[in-house]
Amino acid sequence: MTIATQINKALYAGDGVQTVFPYTFKIFSASDMVVIRRAVDGTETNLTLTTHFTVSGAGSGAGGNVTLVGTQAASPPAVGEKLLVKRVVPLTQNTDWVDNDPFPAAVIENAVDRAVCIAQQQQEVLDRCLKVGETSSLSGTIDPDQIAANAAATQTNANAAAASAAQAAASALSVDLPVITSADAGKSLTVSDTGEWQASTVSSSGSDLYLVDNYNALMY
């Protein structure tokens, strides 16, 4: 039969009850099925065939079911947890053609189906990868740690620019800002803003003190 869909996995949200999880794609053997349980905190655990789950429908283009057994069945994925069932075919070619032997269509089609399944699983991985734009001139190795460091530096520079702008705005006020200490936290003060007096509140965050206006906008 043909491989008419690009689907090669199914993701389920846990409800604390479900232990049978259908899949609608072809696998060639039960060992082609990978089952991953994701905890609420994001921890992922690969379950073991026979010990944690069984598979029906191997060889069928219509798919079948993954059924949790043992400790996994006794404690199925709870609300907030997820279960992924996914086809992962070994990157091998197991069909051997011999000169003058029969050439059955089913054997040929199964071999071609397997090649398509391998291409699909590799594409599924690529779809989850970080990529650059089609017209990007970026070349060489991309270091994720460096990307994170650059993003952090950009944020630091933005924070510094915002602080500088706030200080410049404060310097432009017609009167000096009051000197505040931790003892003033929670008190209402008045600050000159374009010649008008308005109530503001002193708030604290750790060892830092800051002023917010009546709209909770950071002022100082």
Task: Encode pLDDT of 162-181 as tens digits.
Answer: 777 777 766 665 445 455 55
Higher pLDDT, 36 or 189: 36
User: Which pair of structure tokens corresponds to residue 139?
Assistant: 């070349």
Q: Please indicate, yes or no, if residue 209 is contained in any of the structural domains.
A: yes
Whether 7 and 25 have beta carbons less than 8 Å apart is answered as yes
- Quote the pLDDT of residue 170: 62
Chain segment 96-116, per-residue pLDDT in tens: 989 999 989 989 999 999 999
Number of domains in the chain: 2
What does DSSP assign to residue 99? T
Q: Are residues 13 and 88 in the same domain?
A: yes
Q: Residue 142: inside a domain, yes or no?
A: no
Say whether pLDDT at 15 is over 90.
Answer: yes
Q: Are residues 74 and 178 in the same domain?
A: no
Report the half-sphere exposure of 124 (CA within 13 A, side-chain side): 16
Question: Same domain for 118 and 179?
Answer: no
Alpha helix (H) residue ranges in 143-211 = 144-171
Answer yes or no: pTM beyond 0.85.
no
Residues 19 and 122 in one domain: yes
**Which residues have C-beta within 8 Å of that of residue 73, sequence separation ≥ 6?**
19, 67
**Residue 182 confidence (pLDDT):** 56
- Pick the more confident residue, 38 or 205: 38
Residue 116 in domain: yes
Between residues 84 and 190, the one the model is more confident about: 84
Residue 122 and residue 180 in one domain: no
Q: SS3 sequence, 33-90?
A: EEEEEECCCCCEEECCECCCEEECCCCCCCCEEEEECHHHHHCCCCCCCEEEEEECCC
Q: Do 46 and 113 have their domain in common?
A: yes
199 and 114 together in one domain: no
* 74 & 183 share domain: no
Same structural domain for residues 31 and 113? yes
Q: What pLDDT does 88 receive?
A: 97
Quick one: 109 and 192 in the same domain? no
155 domain residue, yes or no: no
Model confidence over 204-214: pLDDT tens digits?
Answer: 454 454 444 44
- pLDDT in the model for residue 187: 53
Check residue 131 and give its pLDDT. 82
Could you tell me if residue 137 is inside a domain?
Answer: no
CA-based radius of gyration for the chain: 30
Residues 122 and 192 in one domain: no
- 151 occurs within a structural domain: no
Residues of the domain holding 23: 9-93+104-127
Burial of 8 (0-12, 13-18, 19+ CB in 10 A): buried
- Tokens found for residue 207: 């060892």
pLDDT in tens, 114-161: 999 999 999 999 999 878 788 888 777 777 777 778 888 888 888 888
